[in-house]
A and B are shown apart, each in its own frame.
Chain A
Amino acid sequence: MIQVFIKMLGCAQDFDSQTAKILTEATLLEAEPELMKRRPLIDTLALNRLKGLCQNPVKTYGELLSLMMGETNRSDIFYKDYRRTSFGFAVIHCIEYIDFAAIASASDLSHHLPLTIIKEILATALPPWISSERIILVFNNAFYDRGFRQAASAVVLEACQAFHSKRFEMKDEQLLLRGTIT
């Protein structure tokens, strides 16, 4: 979204308040508050510009999250923010943890993926909006392992710990964040 807005500025296009609000809310919804603190310079400047154009108050991250929670179909929730490259990756915002392993396994099998990573983010109604996270690795048993599970798990754990320090720990191919995210 931000990339499109940058190109718009490059084409000498800008927005009125109402249109800027649409873009701002879509951008806010895309990034978790913790990620917002780490955004690159250009993204930060673009988002500030958009916010500055909005004369009416924009929805908070929590309000936007609660809109997303209106989804009830489990498959729709799983695929809402899902990417498939050489593995599957689903980011899910939910009020309580849900078991998506069966959907992920079916996706692994039908797309010949060795692994699907499910990142579940527990949302709350009040700041800081997110209470905890868990990451589940769903491996495709049809793939010959040859150390892949161990290597993939170690890489994901390392990435999580780099982002959230040692608060992430691994248990049975499931990574849990200890404590509240702030």
Chain B
Amino acid sequence: MAKGIGAKVEWDSEGHICRVTHDVTIRLSRKLNIVTLSVAEYMSLAQREPSVASSNFAEWLSDSFTLDASGSCFNGHNEPVEMPVGRPGWFRLDEVDGRGFPTNLKENSAGDWKYWSLNPEDSGVRSGAMRSFVTSSGTCSLDLGIPSFAQHSMIMIRECYQALKPEIISPMERIWNNYPRISAKRDDEAIREFLIAQDIGNLPLGLNSNTLLNDKEYERKFDIIGKKRLVEGTFGNLNILGVEKLRETLSGVPDCNTTYVRGYHHPDADSVLSSVFEAFRRNNVYTGKLHLPWTEAIPIEVQHILDLELIELLAKIPMFKNYHDVVLVDSHSFDGVSQSQVKVVVDHHPIDISFPSYVAISQESS
């Protein structure tokens, strides 16, 4: 579709089209039958729903403006526009006129939105209106003077709906979302009761058309069932794994379909051995695919915990390439892995970055 309008587009790991100019955004949106909001429409929406302010992206609005050499401003239809001047200025959401322009610009004050009019030095340059975000104030900005040819990874085309979609939560997701709330109270009896009450075995799982989403559901299931076994003390019918199996995991020969499990930069014993055992676990669950641990270094204490033969096998495993899927354990920082490679995160440290929705995240502070 982009080719049809002579444009080349990129998208981020969540599938949002990004690095788009104002012109491409308008034309592509028309083709896709997507509404691009005008300044007036966007400001009206923001007044009703201030939560549209997002720190995750910037988005072109449909209006464009140009200053002529005398400083007069014209819109995309070549009609003169009286625009308030602020480079920058700050305004309150309830002080906006019918065109979406601020009526009372002030110097910086907490909680206000930021406003930029056109740059007088850019006369003759067509500018697009953009809604963006100001990290320092945690509020949105309305910027009318972004050159229309500007491209940036954070400038995206986002979906716009007439109304919020009803939230559909699967039974597994409901359990998964409830557990941290129960766990955070540190009430052991409440945790026991909650886990024992879950009938995970009979939940319909794996119904997504996307394999990654299915795997994410299964990972959640394994996590909850493991906890349930612990509180119930039921350890019957388990498959006993030993060092022989571990040796098999570490002896795997990688190919382009191998998934690597890695810890963090400068790994400690926990990081290294978590990688080893997570790869081990995954090889025994997802049997059609090889999972290999990889570690940047083997700390001295690991050499006393793991057999020498296993250490040697681990040390021989070649580093992953940029086409391998990666599972992060004991860490959630990329450290040389691109975000699109990461499919699973298992970490006991608080996670302070967002991952695409298909990434299966197990985070529980210990």
Contact = CB atoms under 8 A, between A and B. Distances in A.
A8 B329 CA distance: 14
Interface in B213-247: 219, 221-227, 229-231, 235, 237-243, 246
A81 interface: yes
B301 to A, nearest CB: 4
B300 A15 contact: no
Contacts of B306: 22
Interface stretch (A65-73, A115-123, A150-158): A65-73
Interface residues of B, number: 56
B239 A67 contact: no
Contacts of B304: 59, 67
A7 interface: yes
B362 A81 contact: no
A20 to B, nearest CB: 10
> How big is chain A's contact interface, by range?
35 or more
A13 B300 contact: no
A29 interface: yes
Given A3-B346, A41-B191, A80-B268, A14 B273 contact: no
Interface string B305-322: 110000000000000000
Contact of B240 (A4, A15, A76, A86): A15
Interface stretch (B98-106, B135-143, B170-178, B276-284): B276-284
A61 B127 CA distance: 65
A47 B266 CA distance: 25
B97 interface: no
Interface majority SS on A: helix, strand, loop or mixed?
helix
B366 interface: yes
B224, B273, B346 — most chain A CB neighbours (10 Å)? B273
B270 interface: yes
B163 interface: no
Interface in A27-81: 27, 29-31, 39-43, 45-46, 49, 59, 64, 67-68, 70-71, 76, 79-81
A93 to B, nearest CB: 10
A7 B241 contact: no
Given A2-B366, A80-B266, A67 B300 contact: yes
Contacts of B346: 3-4, 7
A42 B241 contact: no
A11 B281 contact: yes
Given A2-B366, A11-B222, A19-B243, A83 B349 contact: yes
A102 interface: no
A106 interface: no
Contacts of B305: 22, 25-26, 29, 64, 67
B221 A10 contact: yes
A18 interface: yes
B300 A42 contact: no
A111 to B, nearest CB: 11
10 contacts: A1-B273, A7-B219, A11-B226, A13-B241, A15-B240, A15-B241, A22-B273, A29-B305, A42-B191, A68-B300
Given A42-B230, A80-B268, 13 more contacts: A3-B348, A5-B277, A6-B226, A6-B230, A7-B219, A14-B238, A29-B270, A42-B191, A45-B230, A68-B299, A70-B300, A71-B299, A81-B268
Interface of B: 183, 186, 188, 191-192, 219, 221-227, 229-231, 235, 237-243, 246, 264-266, 268-270, 273-274, 277-278, 281, 284-285, 299-302, 304-306, 329-330, 333, 346-349, 352, 362, 364, 366
